[in-house]
Amino acid sequence: MSMATFLLFHTLVYSMFSLAAYLCLVEAKADGFSIDLIHQESPQSPSYNPLLNPWQRVQNSLRRSSSRASRLASASHSVAAHTFHSDGDLLMSLSIGTPPFKIVGVADTGSDLIWTQCQPCKKCYKQKDPLFAPRNSSTYKTVSSGSNQCRMFVGMPSKQNKKTCAYEIEYKDDSHSHGIASTDKLTMRSTSGKPIPLPNNIVFGCAYENVGDFNHDASGIIGLGGTPASLINQMGSLTGGKFSYCLAPNENQSSKMHFGAKAIVSGAGVVSTKMQISRMGFYILKLKGLSVGKTRISNFSESTKIFSSSMNIVIDSGTTLTYLPQKLYSLLEANMKKEIRRTPVPDPSGVLRLCYKISDKISPPIVTVHFKQADVKLKTINTFLQLTDNLVCLAFSPDQDISIFGSVAQVNFLVGYDLKKKIVSFKPTNCS
């Protein structure tokens, strides 16, 4: 084969791959697409430990939930641009570069930036998977320090090269991530197995120094919050600002995240409420009160003292429990006891406040969450969490600093976000 023939052959092959990628992008824009979300305690997760029993996995989720609630509260009180990093339950994978290199990051609706640890790492936590090597990608580029992309990423000129955009994220717990703002080809894999190329010039952080309490089973964070730097907003016309997820009731089952046309929540049973996006990128709703069975227990009159508007509760897919102000939680607990009429037992771990033996055959009432213009009815799977073979506990907790509508309450709902209309929709769905 002559050199000219060789070059022609490779040009044709490259053109075929480019055409295939273009067609996948066109199809994804028209029809939307879906991906799998991986629970940290599932066998598909890099962090899966086969030696743990199901109840130890639940305890891991509760520890992450408590830590995450504290960090969300700290971030909400702070005036800094970036003060929170994720320790949520859900992971997602995507590929970076040419050739594609797979990374697994924490999928976080409570975070905005996208970053992954990169070679050569000066000071990094020890992750289980290999690190992304920018030098091995023919499409990798650094972001210019004077560009809009750098400003979006809250970047600054690098100390080594003033023309290159560096970023420094400092977190409330003294953790930090430092690196270079970068672009490369990013690809997701849909649930049908098709690669979905993301729009060019998505900015992510190539992190070379990461110190602190990060999840060693993930290579970084995939921010799904509401700021311009998040993956959702950078995907632009590919999603039209729409995404949704369906959280499965069992961590061994894959949860789903949908984008674009596939993310639209419609049909019988749908309720929608207005949302606000905080400066930190949190999605905040207006909670008016709760009902236990037929008893309306309270209007949400207590101020959380963390948001400047009347919106008062963060909706978050990465926090296991639902956190309420002390007064509202106490009313919820008291009315649950009235309805169930069984003798509560203590949680051996001391984490949850209201627990019952399964052998007592309890029948918990429906809890209705009254958001503004949207009543979301929670079944037992949303209100109680099984901690052991013979123990279930109320999956709510009091918190004086922040209110969070957590993931247990969202199980078996299709939860859709429309960033343009600024609404969140709920539809009862079998997410198995």
Question: What is the side-by-side order of every strand in the sheet holding 374-378?
Answer: 295-299, 287-292, 367-371, 374-378
| Cα–Cα distance measured from residue 432 to residue 430, given in angstroms and rounded to the nearest whole number | 6
| Cα–Cα distance measured from residue 201 to residue 142, given in angstroms and rounded to the nearest whole number | 10
Active site residue 173: no
| Cα–Cα distance measured from residue 390 to residue 347, given in angstroms and rounded to the nearest whole number | 11
Contact by Cβ (8 Å): 109, 317:
yes
For residue 260, what is the DSSP state? G
Backbone angles phi, psi at 415, to 5 degrees: -110, 115
Q: Catalytic residue among 108, 184, 399, 418, which?
A: 108
| Cα–Cα distance measured from residue 73 to residue 110, given in angstroms and rounded to the nearest whole number | 11
Q: Catalytic residue among 87, 89, 316, 418, which?
A: 316
Active site residue 316: yes
Question: What DSSP line would sit under 356-385, residue for residue?
Answer: EEGGG---PPPEEEEETTEEEEE-HHHHEE
For the record, the structure tokens of 16 come out as 């075929």
Q: 131 CB contacts (<8 Å, ≥6 apart)?
A: 116, 117, 118, 119, 121, 124, 219
Q: Which residues are catalytic?
A: 108, 316
